[in-house]
Amino acid sequence: MRFAAFAPPRLRTMEESERTATWLELFYDLVFVAAVATMGARVAHDVSWTGVSSYLAYFALVWWLWASHTFYADRYDTDDLIYRFLAGAQMVAVALIAVSLSLGEAGSTQVFALGYAGARVVLLLLYARAYRHVAGTRDLVRGYLIGFGAASILWAVSIVVPDPARFWLWGIAFAVDLATPFAVRRIQAAAPLDVSHLPERFGLFTILVLGEAIVAVTVGLSHVAWQTSTTMVGIFGLGAATCLWWINFDHLDGSVVRRRGEGRNWRPTVWIYGHLPLAVALAMFGVSVELAIVGADHGHAYSSADRWLLVASVALAFVSMAAIQTASVRPEEERLRVWAVRARLVGIPIVLAIGLFSSLGAVWTMVLVTAVCSAEVIADLVAANPVEIRSVVEAVKAKIGSERG
């Protein structure tokens, strides 16, 4: 799309041409990568119930910030000068959030609230602009302005409220934010989500989060001596990340996101919000790979908490993929979809069982986790290529039989 200095918002999802992510959207995602990386570094130093719970809460808030802006851009983004300025302002706010997550506890929550409130105000300005220029969706936008506006007030008030009351305000504001799209779901048919653009955006964010596992390998190996054990964990960590990418994106189908006024259709909701636990799982997986590399070094210990973080992250990824794939609608590939869901569900207890073996070190834990992930890939390959797999098996059997004869 060619840049225009002033192009008022319009309903992009009703256009015939297939949309792809813009360069600005990709640039916008980078500041969230910084926030995710900062949160990962924070939980890596505190793998306790408190540390992990705090990580989950912060991640959910940051993810929702990205998702709510993405929903706006999916419908109304025209990439003009005003939109670029407001997107840039929101990036500054998210950068402030990332900085707050790297600070000590003292004062960090106040800075986080300041950045979050600023980002929500920018989103309100964007929707106010859409309300003015897109008459056909004013009822929908009015609902967003009321719900998101109420939540933004709570975020602004939380800046001057001390802990722990501040956290209560955050929880209420987050609940109001999440409830807003459901409150206006009956009129969302006037502005359906883009069936090509939105799935790509969620896929790109998933790729960026999964990329943290790649970064974790390089960071982890840079902090320890190069040994056989640490190198093996790094290699198998990359292997597991590849398998997670494989079994997720081979079944990615976002056609379900287009709402057609079908009332209480659960599929779009599960597909969209299922990406939150998926992103959390993949980000935690990256952190756990780094911890496993450090734990494989002879001078460090690999704790039970580190091991459980690894297996729990993979199990959560399986759960999320199963939910997303259950919500997908591809009649021509129904058999493959059902098979994939069953394979993910079978993998959950198996990978969790690895955490029960307290004697396992970092190397064997990573090897077994990668083996489970590899088995998931093999299961999908068998389901997708039954004739070819059967031919290979028969050929191998025939060769073994001839050699014995």
List pLDDT tens digits, range 257-303: 664 444 447 788 888 899 999 999 999 999 999 999 988 887 677 88
Neighbours of 31 (CB within 10 A): 19
Q: What angle do CA 307, 310, 312 make, to 5 degrees?
A: 105
Length of the chain equals: 405
Query: What would the pLDDT profile of 196-241 be if each residue is shown by its tens digit?
Result: 788 889 999 999 999 888 888 888 888 887 888 889 999 999 999 9
Query: What would the pLDDT profile of 6-18 be if each residue is shown by its tens digit?
Result: 777 887 776 656 7
pLDDT, position 263: 45
Percent of the chain clearing pLDDT 70 (strictly above): 87
pLDDT, position 194: 76
CB 296 within 8 A of CB 220: no
The CA-based diameter of the chain, rounded to the nearest angstrom, is 84
**Which of the 8 DSSP states describes residue 356?**
T
- Range 314-330 average pLDDT: 89
- Range 338-364 average pLDDT: 90
- Exposed, middle or buried by CB within 10 Å (0-12, 13-18, 19+), for 293? buried
DSSP assignment string, 222-283: HTS---HHHHHHHHHHHHHHHHHHHHHHTT---GGG---S-SS-HHHHHHHHTHHHHHHHHH
Asked, as a colleague might, if the bond just before 164 is cis with ω within 30 of 0, I would say yes
- Range 325-354 average pLDDT: 83
Neighbours of 218 (CB within 10 A): 11
Query: What would the pLDDT profile of 117-134 be if each residue is shown by its tens digit?
Result: 999 999 999 999 999 988
Helix (H, G, I), strand (E, B) or coil at 174: helix
Question: pLDDT at residue 78 above 90?
Answer: no
- Range 341-361 average pLDDT: 91
Question: pLDDT at residue 176 above 90?
Answer: yes
pLDDT, position 282: 95
CB 4 within 8 A of CB 251: no
Of the pLDDT bands very low, low, confident and very high (cuts 50, 70, 90), residue 107 is low
Report yes or no on whether pTM surpasses 0.85. yes
What gap in Å lies between CA 280 and CA 210, rounded to an integer?
A: 10
pLDDT, position 401: 66
What are the residue ranges spanned by the domains of the chain? 9-193, 195-405
Mean pLDDT of the chain: 86
Question: pLDDT at residue 46 above 90?
Answer: no
